[in-house]
Chain A
Amino acid sequence: MTITARIEPFGETLELKPGESVLSAILRHGKFVRYGCKHGGCGTCRARLIEGECTLDDRTSFSLSDSDRAEDIVLLCSAYVDEGEATFDVSKLQDLTEEEFHAGLQIDEYEAEVEQIIEHTHDIRTVRMRLQEPADMRFGAGQYVEVEVPGGNDEWRAYSMSNPPHEKGVVEIIVKVIPGGRFSSRLADDIRPGSRLRLRGPLGQFAVRLSHRPMIMVAGGSGMGPIRAMVHDLVAKGNERPVTFFYGARTDRDLFLVDEFRAIAAAHSWFEFIPVLSEVERCETWTGEAGLVTEAVARRFEGFRGYEGYLCGPPGMIDAGIELLIGAGCKSRHVFFDRFVPSG
């Protein structure tokens, strides 16, 4: 049965996972309300329950007075909806504008012109676009945009930026060409330099977290995109944290941007690039890592305690990567991933 929370005065209904606090759901859905400690201590995320029922955990005992409780004041970080829908009103307690509430997303629509299409392999392309209106987008390395399939049917496909944010006015995406794909298949056809595309974004929470921890990055297929943006962004910011980037492909004809990453590795001692091929029997000269990319990761490290993991690519690779990292000491909250699911 679906559990939902409705947030007034914005009229936003959000689905909750079982056991998820209302605040967590708001943030997970890319919305925003003011909050502080997230554990019922500070009273910042106050709201009034105006319809339905919720349970409050006992961490609120100091921060909500009896008169608060009598007036159905709750703390969203400690409020849980057990069944059905509950409606919370933040208008009198948070003086939050609608703009701020939605600012978690901070998305806009852009018009872009295709500047170049780079053919990396038989099925991988980079589409480089110059933003026209607005002329620049503030995004974080790891985020994605939605690109409208030309034709005006309001069909959109999601692609991560593969260029770093400091490159102004440009959005690059790495696209895997899928036969019959509504967007990707047209790269060989009517989407070409000079074509105009509509973009919506930036979206997504995939990003390098600030910390001291060494990072293991794993990508497969077009999952290279956001990792490339992150690595270039780290270079630009003078990173010193160790980064080991494993890229998995089937055969050597599926590898791309290898020289670019090897050049970064040569220039920066903190960076190591390890391409891994799963079908080496089909390659003539490959002497590098072989097998599944996650197997190569396991071979290279004794354990992952104190590491952060960044995974991007097909769901099977992500699942295997999460299991590997967490199983050998990485904390689950330090594993970040973006599943790439082909949408045709």
Chain B
Amino acid sequence: MAATLEQVHEKGKGYDWGFDYATPDPKYPTRYIMAPKGKDPFRVLVRDYMKMEAEKDDRVFGGLDANTRYKNADVAEPRWVEALKWAVPAFTDAEYQAIKGAGFLVSSVKNQELRQGFAAQMMDEVRHTQLETQLRRFYLKNYYDPAGFDIGQKALGNHPTGTLARASFQAFNTGDPVEVSMCLNVVLETAYTNPLVVALPQVALANGDQALPTTFLSIQSDESRHMANGYSMLMCVAQEPDNIPFLQESLERHFWHQHMSMDTLVGVVSEYNAKNRPWVYRDVWEEWVVDDFIGSYMNRLAPFGLKPPRFLNDVARYVDDMHHSAALALAAIWPLNFWRTDMMTDTDFDWFEKAYPGWHKRYGGLWEAFRGMTDPADGQIPMQALPALPPFCQVCHVPCVMPRIDAPETVVFEHEGKRFATCSSQCKWIFDLNPKIYSGCVNWWEPWHGMNLADVIETLGYVRPDGKTLMGQPHLNSERMWTLDDIRKLNYEVKDPLRADD
């Protein structure tokens, strides 16, 4: 008689492995009491799982081949593809950190069933890293202006968006294993991968790009299982009342931090890099993050004593404004970018005003000013018009212009004799939880203090192969490109806004 599914699962639980090739102890200890038994969320052995994933990979590569044949990169809106020069490497950073995170969890969790789930997830994250690298290669080879895609991961690493990504995604593998899972599986994957990997491909399609949806929808087909990993981890610890205060604090911390980075990232890319916008980011956030994550997922955890994050009101308030402010900040520092910025037009203004009533009054004037400074012949850049450069948040690394560029809630403070800034009192609270984690990173402006902007750009390597034309441009016009000489003529000196003697 054939074995029942239940019998197969029971047998599967016996397939554990030893650690004769690696240290069995986790890099970081846990403060949680963890049940020795859990529920394998994947319900499939790794070997069988890999067969399924291999088929999915084949489909993606086939899809990208088709996109190449149909010259899809020529059809996609350049405003959209330019954003992918930094956004795709940022996603890849997340995947890479998640590989390390899942591996770390395999060695940390003394629970064979969860370990199976995390092992499968680790393979998934490797797959996603490879797929996204391949996606970047697709744009590099097929998009008419590949500058920036060629140095994508390295360029990102040196850019403020890269610091933001690193700060956000390093928490996938650094710290208490349960809290690593809280950050990676529960907050990022359960609350935020739907806006990122389901909603964002809709924007790609609306802007003529088929390659990103081909890749991302395959990735998303894995995410629900990763969400299940998080749920299983929570079930392993939530039944112990002593764990609940730790879990609550961890939820508060990671929910705020991931909100700052993901709502900025997805909000900017989906609205400021789109010509055609299929939805309003605020609505997407309301549906996926509030209705699904808070209203449904958190509701199931309520009986254990876990509450929705106490900053939810503030998160909702920030989501109305923060990506508008971040988009302006990125446009303002365009010479330091490794992609081209398409300034907002009157058509964009109409859409934003309808989607976010009051937008024009808050942000329209700055966009009007910025789009009057795009021609190198006029010799003006937005950075000259700023009273001071905004510091970057020491915790989440968004520019301190949040939530509204005209009314930032920046907290400037001293820690062990050094000045720091956070974007908000919430990030300051996170800093204070463990200053050691956050005080080591230099503020992005710090190394460039006193340098000519042209030298900074050259040092960063954001220059095209001709050795003089910038990768970053304040428009999409290939005939009116800015060069290092144009910038040097401005005599603009970078000043670290947190330097005490200024």
Given A209-B291, A210-B294, A212-B316, A95 contacting B6 (CB threshold 8 A) = yes
* Contact indicator A62/B308 (Cβ below 8 Å): no
Complex CA gap A117/B456 in Å reads 80
Residues in chain A within 8 A of chain B (CB atoms): 36-37, 39, 41-44, 61-63, 65, 92-93, 95, 209-213, 240, 331, 333-334
Closest Cβ–Cβ distance, residue A306 to chain B (whole Å): 8
23 A-B residue contacts at CB 8 Å? A36-B228, A37-B223, A37-B224, A39-B198, A41-B198, A42-B223, A43-B221, A43-B224, A44-B224, A44-B228, A62-B56, A62-B221, A63-B221, A93-B5, A95-B4, A95-B5, A95-B9, A95-B43, A209-B295, A210-B295, A210-B302, A211-B312, A212-B315
* Contact indicator B227/A36 (Cβ below 8 Å): yes
A39: B residues at CB distance < 8 A: 198
Q: Which residue of A lies closest to B225 (CB)?
A: A42
* Contact pattern, B 283-326, Cβ under 8 Å of A = 1, otherwise 0: 10011001100110011001000001000110110000000000
* Contact indicator B312/A212 (Cβ below 8 Å): yes
Interface residues of B in 98-138 (CB under 8 A from A): none
B194: A residues at CB distance < 8 A: 37
A36: B residues at CB distance < 8 A: 224-225, 227-228
Q: Which of A42, A65, A210, A213 contacts B55 (CB 8 A)?
A: A65
Q: Which of A44, A62, A212, A240 contacts B290 (CB 8 A)?
A: A212
* Contact indicator A333/B291 (Cβ below 8 Å): yes
Complex CA gap A60/B334 in Å reads 41
Q: Which residue of A lies closest to B220 (CB)?
A: A41
Query: Counting chain A CB atoms within 10 Å of each CB, which of B52, B55, B224, B227 scores highest?
Result: B224
Closest Cβ–Cβ distance, residue B200 to chain A (whole Å): 14
A95: B residues at CB distance < 8 A: 4-6, 9, 43
* Contact indicator B299/A210 (Cβ below 8 Å): yes
A61: B residues at CB distance < 8 A: 59
* Contact indicator B5/A62 (Cβ below 8 Å): no
A213: B residues at CB distance < 8 A: 290
Given A62-B218, A65-B55, A210-B299, A42 contacting B5 (CB threshold 8 A) = no
Given A210-B302, A331-B286, A42 contacting B221 (CB threshold 8 A) = yes
Complex CA gap A212/B285 in Å reads 12
* Contact indicator A211/B295 (Cβ below 8 Å): yes
Interface residues of B in 432-490 (CB under 8 A from A): none
Closest Cβ–Cβ distance, residue B116 to chain A (whole Å): 16
* Contact indicator A62/B298 (Cβ below 8 Å): no
Complex CA gap A333/B52 in Å reads 35
Complex CA gap A95/B313 in Å reads 40
For residue B217, CB closer than 8 A to chain A, the reply is yes
Interface residues of B in 248-297 (CB under 8 A from A): 283, 286-287, 290-291, 294-295
Closest Cβ–Cβ distance, residue B235 to chain A (whole Å): 14
Closest Cβ–Cβ distance, residue B49 to chain A (whole Å): 11
* Contact pattern, B 206-220, Cβ under 8 Å of A = 1, otherwise 0: 000000000001101
B52: A residues at CB distance < 8 A: 65
Complex CA gap A152/B259 in Å reads 57
* Contact indicator B217/A62 (Cβ below 8 Å): yes
Complex CA gap A42/B4 in Å reads 23
Counting from the closest, the 6 A-B pairs by CB-CB distance are A42-B224, A36-B224, A62-B221, A212-B312, A209-B295, A212-B316
Q: Which of B55, B225, B291 contacts A211 (CB 8 A)?
A: B291
Q: Which residue of A lies closest to B303 (CB)?
A: A138
Interface residues of B in 383-416 (CB under 8 A from A): none
Complex CA gap A44/B41 in Å reads 10
A65: B residues at CB distance < 8 A: 52, 55
Closest Cβ–Cβ distance, residue A45 to chain B (whole Å): 10
Closest Cβ–Cβ distance, residue B256 to chain A (whole Å): 13
Closest Cβ–Cβ distance, residue B338 to chain A (whole Å): 32
B6: A residues at CB distance < 8 A: 95
Query: Counting chain B CB atoms within 10 Å of each CB, which of A39, A62, A240 scores highest?
Result: A62
* Contact indicator A41/B221 (Cβ below 8 Å): yes
B56: A residues at CB distance < 8 A: 62
Q: Which residue of A lies closest to B308 (CB)?
A: A210
Complex CA gap A43/B225 in Å reads 9
B5: A residues at CB distance < 8 A: 92-93, 95
Q: A65-B55, A95-B9, A209-B291 are in contact. List 19 more A-B contacts (CB 8 A).
A: A37-B194, A37-B220, A43-B221, A43-B224, A62-B56, A62-B59, A62-B217, A63-B221, A93-B5, A95-B4, A209-B299, A210-B299, A210-B302, A211-B294, A212-B290, A212-B294, A212-B313, A212-B315, A212-B316
A212: B residues at CB distance < 8 A: 290, 294, 312-313, 315-316
Q: Which residue of A lies closest to B295 (CB)?
A: A209
Closest Cβ–Cβ distance, residue B417 to chain A (whole Å): 38
Complex CA gap A4/B299 in Å reads 30
Complex CA gap A37/B199 in Å reads 13
Complex CA gap A37/B287 in Å reads 13
Q: Which residue of B lies closest to A36 (CB)?
A: B224
Interface residues of B in 215-250 (CB under 8 A from A): 217-218, 220-221, 223-225, 227-228
B59: A residues at CB distance < 8 A: 61-62
Closest Cβ–Cβ distance, residue A154 to chain B (whole Å): 33
Closest Cβ–Cβ distance, residue B186 to chain A (whole Å): 14
Given A211-B290, A211-B291, A41 contacting B217 (CB threshold 8 A) = yes
Closest Cβ–Cβ distance, residue B239 to chain A (whole Å): 17
A41: B residues at CB distance < 8 A: 198, 217, 220-221, 223-224
Complex CA gap A44/B283 in Å reads 26
Closest Cβ–Cβ distance, residue B60 to chain A (whole Å): 9
Complex CA gap A334/B221 in Å reads 28
Closest Cβ–Cβ distance, residue A242 to chain B (whole Å): 10
Complex CA gap A43/B48 in Å reads 15
B221: A residues at CB distance < 8 A: 41-43, 62-63
B218: A residues at CB distance < 8 A: 62
Q: Which residue of B lies closest to A66 (CB)?
A: B55
Closest Cβ–Cβ distance, residue B223 to chain A (whole Å): 7
Closest Cβ–Cβ distance, residue A221 to chain B (whole Å): 28
Closest Cβ–Cβ distance, residue B474 to chain A (whole Å): 34
Complex CA gap A44/B59 in Å reads 20
Closest Cβ–Cβ distance, residue B238 to chain A (whole Å): 16
Q: Which residue of A lies closest to B313 (CB)?
A: A212
Complex CA gap A331/B286 in Å reads 10
Complex CA gap A95/B194 in Å reads 27
Complex CA gap A133/B217 in Å reads 51
Complex CA gap A42/B217 in Å reads 10
Q: Which residue of B lies closest to A238 (CB)?
A: B307
Q: Which residue of B lies closest to A42 (CB)?
A: B224
Q: Which residue of B lies closest to A37 (CB)?
A: B224
Given A41-B220, A44-B224, A62-B59, A210 contacting B9 (CB threshold 8 A) = no
Complex CA gap A36/B42 in Å reads 12
Q: Which residue of A lies closest to B2 (CB)?
A: A92
Closest Cβ–Cβ distance, residue B245 to chain A (whole Å): 16
Closest Cβ–Cβ distance, residue A46 to chain B (whole Å): 10
Closest Cβ–Cβ distance, residue A87 to chain B (whole Å): 19
Query: Counting chain A CB atoms within 10 Å of each CB, which of B5, B221, B302, B312 scores highest?
Result: B221
Q: Which residue of A lies closest to B8 (CB)?
A: A95
Complex CA gap A44/B224 in Å reads 8
A333: B residues at CB distance < 8 A: 287, 291
B312: A residues at CB distance < 8 A: 211-212
Complex CA gap A65/B48 in Å reads 13
Closest Cβ–Cβ distance, residue A71 to chain B (whole Å): 14
